[in-house]
Every structure is written in structure tokens, then in C-alpha cells.
Chain A
């Protein structure tokens, strides 16, 4: 009924807008602020001498100073990572012992005793349960240490200062200083890092931060790096230097990740993201003492819930698939060994092998189970004895035992180096992919974020393999 009147109103608005000209928005904002300052004049009295709390200024002067700014930052990041890796060791092995060594056999026995057929018993406990248990054992302790620490720093108000200090470096590659933080969060968990990009309110810089977050080596991948570096890199140098060499190799991989993050940030801002709006906005809030125990508690509960949710939603199906492909036979060969053989050629070209590629395909939901899957598949394909028996994921307590199995599977130093590289440079895990989709709401960016690191991984591994074979 009133459609015509609405049309008239809209036409009137158009005409009036045209008359008042292009400075409308400026004028409006200015008058609102003028109004605000009138009200404040009326109602607020201020002792002008000390308008800013003095302790704040003192802390700020130190944490952003030329001499101390960067050392303090690196020191804090180092402490957080160190606490996470060292501190997670004990609870991780405790959880592994409980979930894998005690509850797993118990469940299998239980299944047998109530008369489950072997396949149901295997599917449920060797497949689904093991994958879930693994993810919890590997991921929960570091997450529960890393994120509460980060949250405390965040509540205190230190993190915006980090963004402030680092911005000049990130600006050069077209990114936002706050990406320093989302990147650091990525060292904990890429999905959490992607969610954290919400603090970046400029669309272009936020997309850059989301797409490149996967180049931060996450907690699910640190153990792989450490294990392979210990076995293969530590072995090429004299014994006294071996732990130093393997440590440097792991740090080197993490630093390489940062390098790739900068490179792809730059490349993205120069190409596909060129036309996106870019703004910069960074408020430095006053310091506030964190409510210590409450923060720890909230953050702990949050993280535990995320890990459990992820384990059940993503790792459980992966476990099921792993069990199925190694137990369903086509002719005389299981699907797993058939796939491994057909991937072997491509794998060789990349300095990897079919087992590794298949492990990375089935481990898309959770990078934590890559090593157990590789071990299981290696035993399955080579037919050597070891582990839990055919088609069950396992990890060995002894590093030498793991090394023996891998060497029997044809691993060389090149394979180890390339797996370390590939573990850094491949598609994000499915939790992260899902999170990216939810955050960007766009198929296109999710695809780019998923494929870009994979292509980078293929290229880097390929080049390393060829050059290695020519030189060595």
C-alpha cells in the first residue's frame, strides 16, 4: 500500500543527499564529537597534572624501548614455548600411558568378552578410539599450557604492545602488526590462530593473516619435527653435538615457516588481495592486572573443550578410515597398500614415499596421528614385524625402535629432511580448514588457504630432492 510513498521518500533522500554534498559524513562525525565534548565539559572534572597512570607509562617505556623492546618479546615467546614443550612432556606421556597402554587393551578385552566380532572390535578400538586417544594425549597438555599463558599476557595488555613493536616488519609485507600475535597463537594451534585474526579489523590484512597462519608450526607438528630431527639429523653429527644439531634443525624449520609466512603475505598483498580495503587501527589499552586463577580456569576449560570437540568430530572419522583402508581388501591387496604403491612414484619424485603421502592424506583431520600412521603403514607394506600388529596405529617408546622401522621402510636422511619440510608445508588440518571457512565465509579463500601451502610444500620438497640427488 505504501510502496509508492516509500519510493518518494527514497527519491527525496537521493535528492537531498546530492544537495548537501560529499562532506556529509565528516560533518556528522564532527558534530557528534563536538556534542560529546560539551557534555564532558559539563560533567567531568579532571586533574590535568596526572592524566595518565604513571606505572603504565613506565612499563610502556620499557617494553617499547629500542634496547629492551625486542629482547623482552623474544624472551617471553621463548619462555612460553619452552614451558609448553617441556611442561607438556610429562602429562602427555602420562595420558599416553593411560589412554593407549591401559585403557586400549582393556577396551579390546572388554569387546572380546562381550562377543564383539573381530572387525567391530578392531574398527571401534583400534581405529576410532586410538585416533581420538592419540589426539588427546598429544594435543591436550600443550594446549592447556600454551593458551592460558597467552591469555594471561593478553589480559594484562602486553600483546597490543607486541603488535605495536612488530608492525614495521609486517607492514613491509603488506600485513598488520597484530599478525605477529595470530602467528604466535598458530604455534599453539592454527585453528585458534585463525580465530584470533578477529582482532585485525582490516579486511585485507585479516585475510593475509588467515591464509598464512598455517606456516606457524603448531603443537600437533612439533613432536614429529622433534622425533625426526633426533633420529636422522642428530645421527649425522658427532654424538656430543647431536642434541644441539637436532634442536637447531627444529628451530630452523620453525624459522623457515616464519620466512614463508612473510613471503606469502607479501605475495598475496601484491596479487590476489591487491584491491581489498586496507586500514590500520591499533589501540594500546591501559594495563590491567589479570584475574589470575579465573583466567587460567576459563582458558583451560575452553581449550580442553576445543581439543575434545576436535578429537571427536575430526580425529574419530580419520581413525575409522585408517582402520578400514588397511583391512578392506581388493583382490589380495588392502586398499592401503594399493594406494601406497600407486603413490610411490610421485612420492619418490618429492623425496618422500607413498606411505608418507598416504599418511598425510588420511591425517588431514589431525596431524598428531601422522607418525603412528606412518609406522603402521610401513609395517603393513614392508611386512616386517613390530608394533601392535597389522593395521593398528602405534608409536614405540624407544627412539631406536622407531628409527629401525623407518629405515626398513627405505628412509634416508633426505626422506627425513623432506618429511620435516612437508610437515611444515602442507594443507592445514581439517579443523583449521573448517575454521577458515567459518571465519571467511568464502569457498575461494578457504581453497586458497588450503592449497597454497601444499603447492609450496610440493615445490620445496621436489627441488630439495632433485638438488640432493645431484649433489649427494
Chain B
């Protein structure tokens, strides 16, 4: 087995290994909330375990985590609570797991959302990534299973990918702890607003839909000038999402 010190960042000037403590399930008194989202079977739970030092069971089965799991780690004297969301293919349908994941990102207002993707099947995973980037403005892409992608002769240019998506991209192999220090460093920088990011919004939408979305999101922004995801709410209103409608009526959607 390779050792974690193989990772380039373990010794680099940015990462501070002494500042890291894995806190397991001690999730009280945290400074930041970090959500962990991603497709089923991308090794999301392995990333969760690598970050928290927990041993939540991770199956090679799409859709293992249905109840969300929580853990924590401490880095540079700041405590991060980590919430592992159910793996979903999308946030547009109405299944139970999708609702749990969606509601947490929307109403739980995590400081940072880590989106775990399978590097060898990036295209399919981007479907969810693009949807999440419509909801939240603070996210990092965890390009997991990078070893598997290499084995399959897939090369990913992380710089181009990061530029296209407008968020930081960290390649990892969570099973061997590779890339985890970089991920922690990035999460910490995002949480402390040290990196400025501008997530990509979905393009190429048919004109009539785009027009309707514009009209609706303008109306929403006029009502709530600070709302970060008016476009996404507009998407859901057009779908007739009753939960979003109720949240809008009750004011929950803008509550801090």
C-alpha cells in the first residue's frame, strides 16, 4: 500500500499537517458546515471516511447512504462539520434521496459543498455538478477515483476543468488518502473566503425556457436582492415543485 506522504501537498508550504485533527462523530461546536454530494458509487463515503477518520460502511453499490451521515474534522483550529448526503444522479426528480440531498444544500446552507465525482465517468457526473452549481456559490470538485481513470487511459486536464466550471478541482484517490490534504486545504480556503470563485451556470437552454427563467429570476431578485440561486428557484417553480413553492410562501428559502 502506498503511504499518504506520497501526496505532494503533505509537504508543500500551504498544507499544515499539524493543524489537522480528525474528529470522528464529535460534531458539536463547529465553525463551518461542509456538505458532501455526488453521484452514487463515486466513492463519496470513502472520501467522507478519509476526511473524518470514521469507518462508515461503503458498499460498491449505487445508493448505499440513504440517511445522511455526519462527521467532523479540525483544521487550523477551525472545526468543520461534514455531512454525507445520499448519492443521486440528479436533483431534478422527486425521489426521497434526491429530496434529502437537495434540501440540505438549499436549506441547510452549507458553507462549502464538496462534489465528489468519478473521474473515469466525468460526463455523467457533470449532470449533477452543474445542477449543484446552480444552487450554491461555494463548491469544490473532488475528482475521485483518479487512479481508476488513469488505468482506463483517461486524462483529465484539471486546470481547464476548473476554469470551465469556475470552481477549484482537486484530484483524489480517497482509498489511499491521496489528494485528501489538498482537499482539506481547499475546503478551508473556501470557507474562509480566501479564494474567489464563480461557478458556471447552465448554458444552452432553449430560448423560450431561458426567457421564462430570466423573467422569473428577475422578479425573485427584485423581491430578495441577496438571493444566490434565483435561477435555480426559477427552474423549480417552472417544474411546479410544491416544496419550493411552500418554502417561498413561508420565507424559509431566504432565511439565514
Contacts and interface: CB of A to CB of B under 8 A. Distances in A.
Interface of A: 2-3, 5-6, 8-10, 12-13, 16-17, 19-20, 24-25, 27-29, 31-40, 42-47, 49-53, 151, 154-157, 159-160, 198-199, 201, 283, 285-288, 290-291, 294, 297-299, 301-302
Interface in B24-73: 40-41, 55, 57-64, 66
Interface in B150-175: 151-158, 160-161, 164-165, 175
9 contacts: A24-B238, A28-B92, A34-B204, A36-B124, A49-B153, A159-B60, A160-B61, A285-B62, A299-B57
Contacts of A20: 208-209, 212, 238
B194 interface: no
B100 interface: no
A435 to B, nearest CB: 13
B60 A25 contact: no
Interface stretch (B11-19, B75-83, B178-186, B215-223): B215-223
Interface of B: 40-41, 55, 57-64, 66, 90, 92, 95, 97, 120, 122-124, 126-127, 129-131, 148, 151-158, 160-161, 164-165, 175, 202-206, 208-209, 212, 215-216, 219-220, 223, 234-235, 237-240, 245, 248-249
Q: Which of A6, A52, A294 has the most CB of B within 10 A?
A: A6
Contacts of A35: 126, 130, 202-204
B226 to A, nearest CB: 13
B58 to A, nearest CB: 8
Q: Which 6 A-B pairs have the closest CB atoms?
A: A47-B153, A36-B126, A13-B237, A43-B161, A16-B212, A43-B160
Nearest to B124: A36
A269 to B, nearest CB: 20
Contacts of B124: 36
Contact of B60 (A9, A156, A297, A301): A156
Contacts of A52: 152
A2 to B, nearest CB: 6
A74 B189 CA distance: 52
Task: State the main secondary structure of chain A at its contact with B.
Answer: helix
Q: Which of B95, B152, B202 has the most CB of A within 10 A?
A: B152
A453 B172 CA distance: 49
Given A36-B130, A43-B157, A53-B152, 11 more contacts: A6-B248, A32-B127, A40-B122, A43-B122, A44-B123, A44-B161, A45-B154, A51-B153, A155-B60, A157-B60, A199-B63
A50 B152 CA distance: 7
A43 B158 CA distance: 7
A192 to B, nearest CB: 12
A291 B43 CA distance: 13
Contacts of A50: 152-153
A50 B240 CA distance: 44
A12 B219 contact: yes
Contacts of A13: 216, 234, 237-238
Nearest to B39: A283
